[in-house]
Structure formats: C-alpha cells, structure tokens
A and B are shown apart, each in its own frame.
Chain A
Amino acid sequence: MTNKPVQISEDLFIKLDQMATQRGVTVDQLVQEMLGDSLKAAGAVYQDHDEAKIKERLKSLGYID
C-alpha cells in the first residue's frame, strides 16, 4: 500500500467534496466508504491476482527460486 497522490478531474473532485461535506467526512474517508460498499456488493466475484499466490505457484513450478 502506498499513499501516493493521484490526479482526478476537477469536476469529479468538486462533486466528491460536496458529497463529503454533506456527510461531514473528508474526501479520503468518503472514497474509502464508497470503495468498501462497492467491494461488499461485488462480494469478491472474481479470483484476485494475489501476488503472494502467484509467487508461490511460480516457485512450486520452478519458474523462480
């Protein structure tokens, strides 16, 4: 995980800021909340590309040490 800044359009930021203000949270908190809801709704439908699992498989097959 990193905390690198990301760029979004000014229009989108204004909308998010308005929604966050209405809810009394920061934009960061609002996005986290929305992401959480969206992931919950999706219920991890697809197998994730978990790097640890990939590494384990490649190791077991002899592709990497």
Chain B
Amino acid sequence: MEHILIPPHGNTLVNRVLSEAHAAEAKTRLAGKFSLTLDDEQVKDVKNIARGVLSPLTGFMNESDFVRVVEEMRLADGTIWSIPFVLDVSEEDASNMNTGDEVALQDATGNLIAVLHVGDIYGYDAAHVARFVYGTDDSAHPGVAHWQAMKSRLVGGLIDLIDNTKEPYYEVNLDPAETRYLFKERGWKTVAGFQTRNVPHRAHEYLQRCALELTDGLFINPIIGKKKTGDFQDEVIIKAYHFMIENFFPRESATFSILPARMNYAGPREAVLHAIIRKNFGCTHFVVGRDHAGVGDYYGTYAAQKIFEGIEDEIGIKILKFEHSFMCKTCETVATSKTCGHGDDVRVPPSGTKIRDLLSAGQPVPADIMRPQIVEMLLQQKSLFVE
C-alpha cells in the first residue's frame, strides 16, 4: 500500500528556495540595489517561510492576511493561522520601496539572504495586535514588548531564498521535505511531534514515551534561537537530545531535528502555530502540555489546550493533551495528576530553577528528576547556560 503522509497545512509544501542558477542571477541583479538588514530572528523567519516550515505562507504577510490573522486567527483565505509573520521597517525605508519592487534582504553581516517582492506597505497598532495575539498589552510580556519596540511600518511580499545555509547546526537541521521523506522511509504512518526548549528530563521523557505508545514514531523538535540569560545553550540541548535518542529510545521509532525559530511566548496562539509547523514536518499528532509556550501568569493553565476545541479537525493534526508530569515517590514512577492519586508532598516536579542551580554549582541533579547519564553528560560540558 502506498505510504500517504499527512498533507501540509494549506495542502501544498511551500518551496521558495531558489535554484543555484537563479540564486546567482538574483545576487547579480540585486547588487548595489536598495536592501534591508534583518536581525537573526527575521533571518530565521525568512528561511522557515522559504523551506515550507510555515506553509502555506510564501512570504511576509500582506495587510489582508495580517488583519485577519490578528483578529480572527485566520489567513485572508480562511485558513487557520495564529501568529502574524511580518517584516517591520522604518518610515524612511518604507519611503524607499514601492509595491512590485524587488528588495534585497541581508543579515547583520551584510550577507545576502533573500529577495523580497514588495507587496503591501502598511501601518499597525501594536496595542491592538498585542491584545488579540497575546491577550494582554502589558509591556512586561516579552511578546508585547517586542511589538512595542518594532519599527512603525510593515512590508509584506513573497520571499525567494538565496542563502540556504543551515549553519551552525547543519547536521540536525532538517527541512519538512526531509523529515517527510524520513518518516516515509521509516514506515511511520503516525508521528507525534514534541516541542521543547529544554534538555531532556524525566517528566518530558514520560510525555514523549506516552506519545510514542500511541503513534509509530516520535519526532522531538527543539526550538533553537534567541535565549534569555540562564537558558540552556543551544548546543547543550542538541547534545543532550542526541544522547537521549542514541541511548534510550529505539532508533527505529524516535528521531530529532532542530527548529531554528523565534519564541513569541504567545501561549495558546503559539501552541496552534507549533502544531501547524509540526504538521508541515509530517507529524499527525502533537503534544500540548499545560501552559504551552506561556510566560508568567498571562494564560490560564489549560488555555493552550482549550484553544484547539472546535479547530483541531480543521487544522488536521491530533492534539495529545497532557497534565504536568512529575516523579511520585510513592508510585515510584513518573506520573500526572490523572494517573497518580498522591499529594504534592510526595510529588517531585521537574523544577527548571532547581535543575539550573544544581548544574551551575557542578552538582548532580537527583535521579528522579533527570537521568544520571544525562546529568553526567551535562556536567562534562564547558558551559551550559547563556550568560
């Protein structure tokens, strides 16, 4: 029987990576022309759009998509989409562009990344966006603060990617076309996607194993990118998951690849985006725990799970909803409040602060929080955290 993979969001896997000949031609064509300099997170957006990670997006959003995404969580054509992908520019830069122009997009070092075919140039109200997308206009929220700091105009338009390099983690950075081939090659008809920003600990491992009990394959997909002080460094997360996959999961049913992308901390809206992205990678299932992609106390405990009510079928990926997991000293196993009847006094939650404090002091993390082999591997690293 033919192996049918889940269709990408919008049914077409976007590919706007220019062929070598066209990339070379575009470089010549754009030399000396007006250009915009992108920050690292915008470069990630551009590459993700071109590689189909954000299918069906083919570029930065024009105004009709932007307005409907913000207010109704849908693209202009009605397709569900939860987070605006926009390129902000100054008034001066906006005045140098017209709809239909080709603009060079370069990174902070001046390297040419992509061509932007200028579409709409438009304004926006950051507070309005914040209230809809983040559910708050509190500038203490990092997503809101980001919008408040953005330049005053937005420019939409199609992207053509020139620089398709995948450094610095080329070896674990797969495109959706590649993960889809991989899943097919392994014969996985159902695949659970797992989003993380952390090194593997027992509580996450429990959710991963539960998900794998329900599916043919597990795809662990850590987000790599801009970090806060005290976060684990990207290479540490990659090494730890590589170790985990090699030593604790069956090779034939688990794999991992990174997702270089920005975190918006948009809670429920971001959970929807994360599910859509994993659908594009070929996942049929996606794990959503409590307070997925949240920050502070801005979202209700179950908001990131509730948001899928009524839209899960339309998105087309099955959401695996989990409670917080912890080690129960009485059950002597990892469990959730759904599977363990004991009180908080015997439950050991995977405290990020505790893990960080112990590792920073060169101390081992208790085995009921993190596997000793992972701890040992982590303690051998020169540097674990972003300073």
Chain A interface (Cβ < 8 Å from any Cβ of B): 43-49, 51, 54-55, 57-58, 61, 63-64
Interface residue? B36 (CB, 8 A):
no
Q: Are A47 and B19 neighbours in the complex by a CB distance under 8 Å? A: yes
B252 CB, min distance to chain A CBs, angstroms: 10
**Can you name 23 A-B residue pairings with CB atoms under 8 Å?**
A43-B21, A44-B19, A45-B18, A46-B16, A46-B17, A46-B22, A47-B15, A47-B17, A48-B19, A49-B15, A51-B181, A54-B177, A55-B181, A58-B174, A58-B178, A58-B181, A58-B182, A58-B185, A61-B172, A63-B174, A63-B182, A63-B255, A64-B186
Give the Cβ gap from A52 to chain B, nearest Cβ, in Å: 10
A47 close to B164 (CB less than 8 A): yes
Q: How large is the interface on B (under 10, 10 to 19, 20 to 34, 35 or more residues)?
A: 20 to 34
Q: Are A57 and B178 in contact (CB under 8 A)?
A: yes
Task: Identify the closest chain A residue to B16 (Cβ).
Answer: A46
Task: State which of B160, B171, B182 has its C-beta within 8 Å of the C-beta of A64.
Answer: B182
Nearest residue (CB) in A for B50 is A46
Contacts of A46 in B (CB 8 A): 15-19, 22
Contact flag A45-B19 (CB < 8 Å), given A61-B171, A63-B255: yes
Residues of B within 8 A of A (CB): 13, 15-22, 160, 164, 171-172, 174, 177-178, 181-182, 185-186, 255
Report Cα–Cα, A44/B19, bound state, in Å: 7
Write the chain B residue with the least CB distance to A50: B177
A57 — which chain B residues lie within 8 A by C-beta?
178
> Assuming A45-B19, A55-B185, what are 16 further A-B pairs, CB within 8 angstroms?
A44-B19, A44-B22, A46-B16, A46-B17, A46-B22, A47-B17, A47-B164, A48-B19, A49-B13, A54-B177, A54-B181, A55-B181, A58-B182, A58-B185, A63-B174, A64-B182
Q: How far is the CA of A54 from the CA of B175 in the complex (A)?
A: 10
Chain B residues with Cβ under 8 A from A64's Cβ? Answer: 182, 185-186
What's the Cα separation between A13 and B160 when bound, in Å? 34
Q: Are B177 and A49 in contact (CB under 8 A)?
A: yes
In the complex, what's the smallest C-beta–C-beta distance from A9 to chain B, in angstroms? 18
Q: Which residues of B contact A47 (CB under 8 A)?
A: 15, 17-20, 164
Decide: A45 and B178 in contact? CB cutoff 8 A. Answer: no
CB distance from A38 to the nearest CB of B (A): 16
Bound complex: CA A44 to CA B25 (Å): 13
Q: In the assembled complex, how far is the CB of residue A40 from the closest CB belonging to chain B, in whole angstroms?
A: 14
B18: chain A residues at CB < 8 Å are 45-47
With contacts A49-B15, A58-B185 known, is A43 near B178, CB below 8 A? no
Q: Compute how far the CA of A45 lies from the CA of B280 in the bound complex, rounded to whole angstroms.
A: 22
How many whole Å from B303's CB to the nearest CB in chain A? 35
B177 touches A45 (CB 8 A): no
Complex Cα gap A28–B302 (Å): 55
CA distance A61 to B164 in the complex (A): 17
